[in-house]
Structures are given as C-alpha cells and as structure tokens.
Structure 1
C-alpha cells in the first residue's frame, strides 16, 4: 500500500473573546507549551507559536487527514479549558468565534516563523486590526468588516 506524502503549512490566527487582553505575559510560555502539545497530539508539527495578550498566531505543518475546522475547534476548546483551570484571569476566559487560516509554500517557512516570533515588535508599529486586514488583503480573501473579529481599540 502506498503512503501519502504532503507538504501543507498553515498559519492560524485567533483572538480572545471581545479582544480582551487576558493572556498574562508571565503565563504565555506555559500556554505556548500547552497548545504545542495539543498540536503534537493531533500528529501535526508546531513550527511557531506566539501568544499576544489578545490573540494567537500558530504556524503548523499540517496533515491532509486532519480537518482544519475540527483541528482549530479542538485546540481552542482544550486551551480555553486549560486557561480557566489555571485561573489566570479573574473572569471566565474564552476564545472568540472564528479564526483566520492562511497557507504558505515551503520557501516561506523561515520568514513566517520569524514573523510570528517577532509579534511583540510588529505590534509596536501596527494594531492587530491592521495586521489582520493586511492578511486578508494579501491572500485576497473577501471579507466584510462587520463579520470580522470584534475589534475594540
């Protein structure tokens, strides 16, 4: 029987509900490790992760047997439960509905990894709203502002 070979690289972007800054800076490394474990448990490969206080970027080597929507839903549900169990926030923590997912070629791996790892620097110059709009425009994804994440800036 022949094996299946693939090369799929996906960047996921999702936000904290109501875009609140609820991911404590002192806990982000622990959240990185937890989400990375969730990715590994699904036989995908974490290439880069960065949690900002109000949103997350993941760059994953993806397998074609996985459903994108099931994958991200499971990651969000399980990491949401983890954050609440850790009691990092005074109120109940939740991810906002929806997400962005963008595909890249093998030749872009290093630049995407560097982009994700340098989120702190990027957001000194641009807001998340600007960043997300740029992604949608760059990838020519049609959108209406009213259907995007709830932005409170």
Structure 2
C-alpha cells in the first residue's frame, strides 16, 4: 500500500489533581473549546469533550502522526497553563499525572458522544471513581486501584 490509511477513535479520560473541583460551569465551555483547538492543531479532531468539576472526557480521532501519549501530554500542559490565566481561583490548577484511553468502534461513536455530552447529569447518579472502574472493567483492563487515585 502506497499510503497510510488510519482512523482511530479514542476516548480519553483524566481528572484534576486529587480530583479537586476546578472545572466549574463558568469555565468549562471555554476550556473544552481550548482543548478542541489543541487537538485540531495536532491533527486529532475532537468529536466531543465533556466532563464535570473534577474530570474530563475527550472523544477524538487520533492523528496518524502523533502518539496518544504525546497528544494527552500536549492537552494537559497547554490547557493547564491556559486555565491558570483565567483568574485567581484557578492559579493552583493541575491535571493528574495519568489518564485512561479506550478505543471506540465506528458503530459506538454516537453512543460515546452522547455519554460525554451528558456528564454533568450522569454524575448526579454516579461518582467518578465508580465510573472509571466501570469503564476499565468494560474494556477488560487490569489495574491496581491504589494507583488510580494518587
């Protein structure tokens, strides 16, 4: 094949450091838009971004030119610097060190987009820890819970 044909949908999840409530509704739309631009600049189109006060979900098409780890690193570094410029209440903002990333089939893109879009409603019924463990188990991922919450 003389060309590289790649289409990888990735659902990325990570939280604020110590799951502190920094992402309030007055900043989230601007933050999500900023992250979408970071993704676009890295040729990894964000299809949906959503979350709650202490974590976010990103559904994107991962560029064939960038490693997933580099994409997440760039999103975290740039958005963290940006949010700290938005006021005194954000000056101690940090993302957690780790992240979760899960492949999504073409058939499930609509479902995952809806799930991400409705995060605030979803978390009125389920805690972030339970949500993340559910996602990990759904994807049959091995994990040590003591490292999930540092």
In the superposition, the TM-score normalised over structure 2's length comes to: 0.95
Q: Corresponding residue for 1:80?
A: 80
| Superposed displacement of residue 124, structure 1 | 1.1
Q: Corresponding residue for 1:36?
A: 36
Q: Corresponding residue for 2:105?
A: 105
How big is each residue's C-alpha offset from its partner over 1:46-83, in whole Å with a ceiling of 9 and x where there is no partner? 11001311000000011222111111011100000000
C-alpha change, 1:61 and 1:90, in structure 2 (3 Å) is closer
Q: Is the 8 A contact 1:7 1:106 kept in 2?
A: no
Q: Alpha carbon RMSD of aligned pairs, Å?
A: 1.3
Matches of 2:34 and 2:7, distance apart in 1: 24
> What are the equivalent positions in structure 2 for 1:1-153 lying under 5 Å apart?
2-87=2-87, 89=89, 91-150=91-150
Matches of 2:88 and 2:49, distance apart in 1: 19
Matches of 2:37 and 2:106, distance apart in 1: 23
Q: Is the 8 A contact 2:51 2:116 kept in 1?
A: no
Q: Is the 8 A contact 1:36 1:46 kept in 2?
A: yes
Partner SS state of residue 124, structure 1? coil
Matches of 1:42 and 1:149, distance apart in 2: 29
How big is each residue's C-alpha offset from its partner over 1:90-130, in whole Å with a ceiling of 9 and x where there is no partner? 54110011000000111111000000001112111110000
In the superposition, the TM-score normalised over structure 1's length comes to: 0.93
Can you give the 5+ residue segments of structure 2 that lack an aligned partner in the other structure?
A: none
Can you give the 5+ residue segments of structure 1 that lack an aligned partner in the other structure?
A: none
Partner SS state of residue 101, structure 1? strand
